[in-house]
A and B are shown apart, each in its own frame.
Chain A
Amino acid sequence: MATLKDIKTKISAVKKTQQITKAMNMVAASKLRGAQTSMEGFRPYSAKFAEVLGSLAEKAGEETNPLLEVREEVEKVHIVLCTSDRGLCGGFNANLISKAKALKKEKEEQGIDVVFTVFGKKGRDWCRKNQFEIVSEHIGVVGGRFGFHVAATSGQKLIQGFLDNTYDEVYIVYSEFMSMARQVPVLKQLLPILPITPAEHEAETEETTYLAEHICEPSPQELLGELLPKNVYVQLYSALLETSTSEHAARMAAMDNATKACKDMIENLTLVYNKARQAAITAELMDIVGGAEALKG
């Protein structure tokens, strides 16, 4: 049986762990607020962008753009995997990685090569360990502060590779922020760009009539050609923002659980400690009483 001192040491150790998890929880909470603010800041841009793109796609009609063309023979696909740089956030990274793994397996069964672009250390480490080909890696983006140019630069590279036939499809795996308690790994096709569904018109019929009469400069087709690559950046940026926010939310939840677990453990240990102390006192009393009896006799 553990001595009193052992139990005491253990309790103070758990208490220190609890302090750490509590602090991490609070750090994650404040970072989450920042991430959520940038997500909200991006919303007007992306909403407006989708609206313009939708009405433009409608107008440009069937005009083909290389970024929209679906290739019949797919030989190589490119997966953009967004994970966090740091651990201690529950199953967050594992979920994302298993999503990517499933996609890779599916493609390889069809005899398609898979290469990766990774955001975040965890995803990179996973690729390295399994010796998957990494085209480019970006550390220190997810979870921190980053600007639109990050998405634009890597989006540019992805488009370049797609256009010169280095790969035929690009997917992105990221975590969507549904709520504080729910972050869902999502798989999306980035390239070729899926047919753009015109923005929901029913709600705003008035606006639709305006859009239909737009004068475009240069021609709608050229405009679309300008906007489609931007669409890729927008999607990439929003995926990164979502992943960052999700990471902090996941870490908050994980740290909250850890703090609770520490609390439970401290309670149990205190109980054991008190019992042991009481047992020691009882034993001592027995000794004294026994001794007194012996002297009397």
Chain B
Amino acid sequence: MAGNIKLEVVTPEKYVVDEEVQIAVAPGSLGEFGVLIGHTPFLTTLRTGAMHYTDAKGAERFIFVSGGFAEALPDKVTVLAESAERRKDIDLERAKAAMERAEERLAKSQSEDIDFNRARAALERALHRIRIAETSR
């Protein structure tokens, strides 16, 4: 490995991650991509889902991201997301409650209106959160 690359995950509220990592993998809207040091400049939007990285000590960490985009530069990756949570920070109870609410709303409205789309996005977020939180360590 040639070296570490700096990873920053930023939400409107705070820095979620700001450290040197060996590799960062994120769910781009056209497919998952991994970034090592020396990556060519790259800009993409992100899907709701899990990104993971291997930190300087070799431990693998997972982060939930939604509503974001990423910029990769040769020495730095920046992820700007509307929400991002480390796995240990995910509130599983809340995610489960959100899932139930979203399913209820989806069952009620069958048309493709705004509410429907919003409920679907909420369901997607909840499912990803649950999946990340429940992956075994």
Q: Which A residues fall within an 8 A CB radius of B? A: 38, 41-42, 44-46, 48-49, 52, 56, 147-149, 152, 160, 210-211, 213-218, 223, 226-227, 230, 234, 237
Q: Secondary structure at chain A's binding surface: helix, strand, loop or mixed?
A: helix
Query: What are 14 A-B residue pairs whose CB atoms fall within 8 Å in the complex?
Result: A41-B13, A42-B13, A48-B80, A52-B69, A52-B71, A56-B43, A147-B12, A148-B11, A148-B82, A211-B41, A215-B40, A215-B43, A217-B44, A218-B30
Contact of A45 among B10, B73, B114 (CB under 8 A): B10
Q: CB-CB < 8 A to A148: which residues of B?
A: 11-13, 82-83
Instruction: Let me know if B44 and A49 touch, CB within 8 A.
Output: no
Q: In the complex, what's the smallest C-beta–C-beta distance from B136 to chain A, in angstroms?
A: 30
Asked if B109 is at the interface of the complex by the 8 Å CB criterion, the answer is no
CB-nearest residue of chain B relative to A59?
Answer: B43
Q: Secondary structure at chain B's binding surface: helix, strand, loop or mixed?
A: strand
Instruction: Let me know if B12 and A45 touch, CB within 8 A.
Output: yes
Q: In the complex, what's the smallest C-beta–C-beta distance from A96 to chain B, in angstroms?
A: 23
A152 to B73, CA, bound (A): 28
Instruction: Let me know if A214 and B42 touch, CB within 8 A.
Output: yes
Instruction: Let me know if A210 and B73 touch, CB within 8 A.
Output: yes
Instruction: Let me know if B29 and A218 touch, CB within 8 A.
Output: yes
Contact of A217 among B10, B29, B80 (CB under 8 A): B29
Instruction: Let me know if A223 and B82 touch, CB within 8 A.
Output: no
Instruction: Let me know if B45 and A223 touch, CB within 8 A.
Output: yes
Q: CB-CB < 8 A to A49: which residues of B?
A: 80
